Amino acid sequence: MLGGWAPGGARNPVAAGAVAYFRWLNARGGVRGHRIVYRVLDDRNDRRVVPSLVHRLVQGDAVFAVFGAVGAQGTAVTGFLDSAGVPDVFAGSGCSCVNEPARMPEVFGWPLGDVREGKILGAYVARHYAGEKIAVAYRPDAAGRNGLAGFVATARGVRVAAKVAVAGPAGAAAAVHAAKAVGVTVIGAFTPARVTAKPASRSRW
């Protein structure tokens, strides 16, 4: 048995794709004649629920591996899976804890970590906007702060004139206006698209 979790459980679009693939695979004989059972639990988009789901999958269902878990992970979860010898395959989290093979060899993440994503964007800005004023909007949580830290580490040669924590669309609109007022030409954003897309679409830059 494989296990996982996602907002909405097996109805989540990402999880539903995996479920469909395993059904297709089972219809063709499974893996070496073994049928794949894939159980996806609903984390209700609440990171506080995830540890109890992981314990249920590992200790209750005795899953062989966790596959394609969507959303919140965190070091407590990855550390538990690694110490239990349960592979965590294609972990869908931006936490750097899913990309540390030397420390957690049983955890295999597929997305970029938040810090690495920030470093990539910072290096791009340094290359294309050297000498200009930059503002950075970030979500006031670990993911947003990690993205900001990575960005600042590589955005050399630019002036980061403002670092603004943005929790919602109203805050994003205020950040855009404040940035324009001090002559910022570029805004880097480590926020969900729903937070920044609307204010950005109304900007006259």
What is the DSSP track for 156-181? TTSEEEEEEE--SHHHHHHHHHHHHH
Shared domain for 6 and 74, answered yes or no, is yes
pTM (whole model) above 0.75? no
At which residue do the structure tokens 């591996």 appear? 65
Q: Report the alpha-carbon distance of residue 31 to residue 36 in Å, rounded.
A: 7
- Residue 119 pairs in a beta bridge with none
pLDDT tens track, the chain, 205 positions: 999 999 999 999 989 999 999 999 999 999 999 999 999 999 998 888 999 999 999 999 999 999 998 866 777 888 899 999 999 998 877 676 777 778 888 888 776 778 888 999 999 999 999 999 999 999 898 889 989 999 999 999 999 998 989 888 888 888 888 888 888 988 899 987 777 666 555 544 4
Q: Report the alpha-carbon distance of residue 199 to residue 205 in Å, rounded.
A: 12
- Kindly list the distances between the CA atom of residue 113 and the CA atoms of 25, 105, 109, 146, in Å, as whole numbers in the listed order: 30, 16, 9, 9
Owning domain of residue 156? 114-202
Shared domain for 88 and 9, answered yes or no, is yes
Number of domains in the chain: 2
Q: Report the alpha-carbon distance of residue 66 to residue 56 in Å, rounded.
A: 12
Shared domain for 154 and 104, answered yes or no, is no
Q: Report the alpha-carbon distance of residue 119 to residue 151 in Å, rounded.
A: 5
Shared domain for 122 and 152, answered yes or no, is yes
Shared domain for 93 and 154, answered yes or no, is no
The Cβ of residue 143 has, within 10 Å, a number of other Cβ atoms equal to 22
